[in-house]
């Protein structure tokens, strides 16, 4: 492999692992090259992608170089990303989602206390999926974030509003609980 091919491979790898535009100075330092040489390599790599009609492009944006999907592939990328957002949720995510849906607005600590395990990661995942969102701050010490469900949650469950959620007490009684508790449980 020629030195130039090796540099192009290394450059491509650096750009691939970066989630933001990489300034030429940073690339030059990583590749131990002059900035001018890095810009030439980037332009060569960008041309190579375009010549082979690749699904990615290399652009100079916001003071750096960044790989991104080719604009012509946008409909496919969008469809793929939307379909992965609708992937099945784990049992932990369903538990957390149910707690948020029925107890909202609710803090991370309250969700974790009800589940009996740390729910930070699961809650973050539900926020990333657009099913749960920050809806405010509690007035207590530290002003913790309050979470609630989103319109996307209602859409995914086919509900017109939160009022359409099934009552909780009968669901708990079916699960074998002797006392459903809560306002609907008649405790």
The model's pLDDT over 129-185, given as tens digits with 9 standing for 90+, comes to 899 999 999 998 889 999 999 988 888 777 888 888 888 777 676 654 444 344 443
In whole angstroms, give the CA distance from residue 34 to residue 24. Answer: 9
Q: Say which residue the tokens 């170089």 belong to.
A: 65
Q: DSSP readout, 149-176?
A: E-HHHHHHHT-SSGGGSPPHHHHHHHTT
The model's pLDDT over 68-80, given as tens digits with 9 standing for 90+, comes to 899 999 888 888 7
Contact by Cβ (8 Å): 163, 133? no
Q: What is the pTM of this model?
A: 0.48
The alpha carbon of residue 7 and the mean position of all alpha carbons in its chain are separated, in whole angstroms, by: 32
Task: Tell me the domains of the chain and their CATH numbers.
Answer: 3-73 (1.10.10.10), 91-177 (1.10.10.10)
């Amino acid at each position: 492999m020629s030195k130039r091919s090796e540099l192009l491979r290394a450059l491509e790898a650096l750009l691939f692992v970066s989630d933001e535009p990489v300034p030429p100075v940073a690339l030059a330092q990583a590749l131990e090259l002059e900035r001018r040489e890095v810009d030439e390599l980037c332009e060569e790599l960008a041309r190579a992608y375009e010549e082979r009609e690749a699904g990615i492009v290399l652009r100079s944006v916001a003071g750096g170089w960044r790989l991104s999907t080719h604009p012509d592939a946008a409909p496919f990328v969008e469809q793929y990303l939307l379909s992965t957002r609708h992937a099945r949720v784990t049992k932990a995510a369903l538990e957390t989602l149910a707690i948020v849906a029925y107890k909202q607005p609710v803090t991370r600590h309250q969700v974790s206390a009800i589940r009996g395990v740390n729910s930070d990661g699961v809650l973050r995942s539900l926020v990333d999926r657009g099913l749960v969102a920050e809806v405010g701050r509690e007035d207590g010490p530290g002003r913790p974030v309050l979470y609630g469900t989103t319109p996307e949650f209602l859409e995914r469950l086919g509900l017109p509003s939160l009022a359409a959620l099934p009552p909780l007490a009968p669901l708990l009684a079916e699960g074998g609980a002797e006392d459903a508790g809560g306002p609907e449980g008649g405790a």
